[in-house]
A and B are shown apart, each in its own frame.
Chain A
């Protein structure tokens, strides 16, 4: 089999005088083969994709090596020659379908513009061809969707449109940059199935960029692992994933959260003692957003369009218990977390602390409940030093400067960061370190309840593993009750004592980890579980058999 794409010893520099981003990368894709490139942020995997596409940002310069496509050297081609190749012979699917489609053009226009531009079809036949493509990526009601605008489509539909438009000119090589990362897990599973099918029926060659080893296995026969601009391991997917040679690959695989709890789960305090009293409880909480238009608009007959975010949800947390709250986007999981903290006041139902109802209008700044946010880049003030960020809540409750400084040092030690970080700014920290600061800030006032909203979803897997460790450790040491909100079932199964599954503003299933993961009662939970890549849910069937499901 001949190689369709051959990258040899590729070295690339961003900006003159800086360190190379790629240090001699080698990669080969045989015709009809799908190759996965896996690495964490900063590994240079996306830079490889951009080099192949010829869309490197200004300032990037290839200093050594070659990239050949069907035997032709891409790096020697003129910009115009490369443009002719793009879309026609090499096409690309991007990470985030929500920003990849132009909000001002209809789906159909964007789907077929490349065909019209190339003169492959005339404007009249474009619609017919567009509908055929939409059919190929299994979009229902194609003729209706063709004239719709992107915002009228769900994320999964948008990504199918992006894939269809990449396929429009029947390219030989498809470059996919994290094509499912922005999607819900059930949607991800459908898209991966579609891609696998297209690869077979069209004989497509694929360069599949991902941070997730578990997904790569479903699509790729061969895997290349990158770290800091270097290829550390490459080979057949089976070999790299089951018998990794390089220490980094082993670490990546070790960090990957699996669906099954470790064979001997470290029993948390909640498991040892008699059930503790509930520290916080949501009772029949309902909340809807939007709806009430302004006074004048209402006088003039505007109608509301309320969205029910929570519908009679009840949930409780016991001391030193980690409850995993899992659901897809729009399930209401984050809203529930915010109701517990008091950011939102429920419209009906109540939040009870230690068995007493709280007044949602008064004193919603209860310092016994604290929150850790998803994105540490945006939840830490970039102009404040770490010392100020951590000291601020302490000063706000009237602690003296000395007491606060002392506590800040304790907090840094608690999240395993050196004391010297006091004088640093957030941008001088890595993503994982920033999230540790976010956790430390939430712990500053010794809360009894911690709401963690997707706290690891912006992090690399190896960093995620260490943050999960830290959270478990803090629970054991400080006896805080933790509501861990996440879309990732595998992560939830790793960290939680109890799992709550939400969908469309309602709780659909609730139970111990073992029960929910191994013997789910609800169809939706089963669908969620089935969407988890097989590599990550390995061994689950045996567990299910044991649980008698």
Chain B
């Protein structure tokens, strides 16, 4: 187990290194650079050249990369070229806000998706299954920004129940915090729970048809026991896969949702950094997402190990 974890962590380090090179490369091929942004619209070529020299933008690419990487390895992620603030706290602050949004959304997606999927699967063809099927179709068919706009129009425009934009920390009152979170979370959840629900439904139906479920019924176990003890755990295994994928989609969704709701999180920080070609901020925020996703995959694989004993190698086998 320890060997496995070491290997996986090694892979994660490798992924992060590769990713930082990729991000650096992409920003280099983008037209223009941060100097134009800093200098403003009416800057003279001399002013721009001065800024470029100050920031070292004329050095060869590999030198810029090594300078950044060397500092990053010592824990210094640099300074935002536009905002003149250290990148570390900037990203950490945005990450904290996004984590609240994404965390609550992800938990709800998993919970609602699994419950709706299991109930639909167990009573396939029943009324709940049919209603759930229509709802999931609708939610998959609607793009996220559309859902967001409809929700804003309805709940903050028409009904005036919830604020349309912004963020309040939880220290500013739980209700206030929650009211800013409801609409963005709802947008993300509606867009994503359908994946989980339909996959969970299909895998539940398949598992209920398995021989070992029939065998459990032949033992005279109650239907509740058959489902919770024999079917559910096996049916959860494919769901872990889709949840991991959904986490990736969720991080993409955050960019859209934070923009629509003016939510000051990591998504908006990334958009701004791209627009302003603020390389240190972009590097740090994309790498943060990479790290999160890499660890999410590791956690997913550990979930497989927990759910499916066949994958546990190194277990003292009995032959």
Shortest C-beta distance, B126 to chain A (Å), equals: 12
Q: Are B318 and A114 in contact, CB atoms less than 8 angstroms apart? A: no
Q: Are B310 and A151 in contact, CB atoms less than 8 angstroms apart? A: yes
Q: CB of A96 within 8 A of chain B?
A: yes
- Given known A-B contacts A103-B310, A152-B319, A88 and B220 have beta carbons under 8 A apart: yes
Q: Are A91 and B218 in contact, CB atoms less than 8 angstroms apart? A: yes
Q: Are A113 and B229 in contact, CB atoms less than 8 angstroms apart? A: yes
Closest to A107 in B: B318
Q: Are A86 and B229 in contact, CB atoms less than 8 angstroms apart? A: no
Q: Are A85 and B220 in contact, CB atoms less than 8 angstroms apart? A: yes
The one of A84, A141, A151, A162 in contact with B220, judged by C-beta atoms closer than 8 angstroms, is A84
Q: CB of A100 within 8 A of chain B?
A: yes
Residues of B within 8 A of A55 (CB): 214, 217-218
Q: Are B318 and A141 in contact, CB atoms less than 8 angstroms apart? A: yes
Q: CB of A1 within 8 A of chain B?
A: no
Residue among B6, B221, B225, B315 with the most chain A CB within 10 A? B221
Q: Are A300 and B7 in contact, CB atoms less than 8 angstroms apart? A: yes
Residues of A within 8 A of B233 (CB): 104
Q: Are A114 and B234 in contact, CB atoms less than 8 angstroms apart? A: no
Spot the interface stretch: A142-150, A434-442, A497-505: A142-150
- Given known A-B contacts A94-B211, A103-B309, A103-B310, A165 and B219 have beta carbons under 8 A apart: yes
Q: CB of B45 within 8 A of chain A?
A: no
Q: How many residues of B contact A (CB 8 A)?
A: 31
Q: CA of A113 to CA of B222 in the docked complex: distance in angstroms?
A: 11
- Given known A-B contacts A87-B220, A300-B10, A103 and B308 have beta carbons under 8 A apart: yes
Shortest C-beta distance, A473 to chain B (Å), equals: 38
Q: CA of A269 to CA of B229 in the docked complex: distance in angstroms?
A: 61
Q: CB of A430 within 8 A of chain B?
A: no
Closest to A99 in B: B211
Q: Are B212 and A101 in contact, CB atoms less than 8 angstroms apart? A: yes
The one of B11, B212, B225, B317 in contact with A100, judged by C-beta atoms closer than 8 angstroms, is B212
Q: Are B309 and A99 in contact, CB atoms less than 8 angstroms apart? A: no
Q: CA of A99 to CA of B211 in the docked complex: distance in angstroms?
A: 6
Q: Are B219 and A104 in contact, CB atoms less than 8 angstroms apart? A: no
Residues of B within 8 A of A86 (CB): 217-220
Residues of A within 8 A of B172 (CB): none
Q: CA of A101 to CA of B210 in the docked complex: distance in angstroms?
A: 10
Shortest C-beta distance, B10 to chain A (Å), equals: 5
Q: CB-CB contacts of A344-383 with B at 8 A, as 1s and 0s?
A: 0000000000000000000000000000000000000000
Shortest C-beta distance, A89 to chain B (Å), equals: 9
Shortest C-beta distance, B201 to chain A (Å), equals: 17
> Which residues B1-47 have CB closer than 8 A to chain A?
3, 6-7, 10-11, 14
Closest to A118 in B: B220
The one of B11, B14, B225 in contact with A117, judged by C-beta atoms closer than 8 angstroms, is B225
Q: CB of A53 within 8 A of chain B?
A: yes
Residue among A96, A101, A104 with the most chain B CB within 10 A? A104
Q: CA of A148 to CA of B220 in the docked complex: distance in angstroms?
A: 24
Q: Are A114 and B212 in contact, CB atoms less than 8 angstroms apart? A: no
Q: Are A87 and B218 in contact, CB atoms less than 8 angstroms apart? A: yes
Q: CA of A105 to CA of B10 in the docked complex: distance in angstroms?
A: 32
The residues of B with any CB-CB pair to A shorter than 8 Å are 3, 6-7, 10-11, 14, 210-212, 214-222, 225, 229-230, 233-234, 307-310, 315, 317-319
The residues of A with any CB-CB pair to B shorter than 8 Å are 53, 55, 83-88, 91-92, 94, 96, 99-106, 113-114, 117-118, 141, 144-145, 148-149, 151-154, 162, 165, 296-297, 300-302
Sampled A-B contacts (21; CB under 8 Å): A55-B214, A83-B220, A87-B220, A88-B220, A91-B218, A94-B211, A94-B215, A99-B210, A100-B215, A101-B215, A102-B212, A102-B216, A104-B234, A104-B308, A106-B309, A149-B309, A149-B310, A152-B319, A154-B319, A162-B215, A301-B3
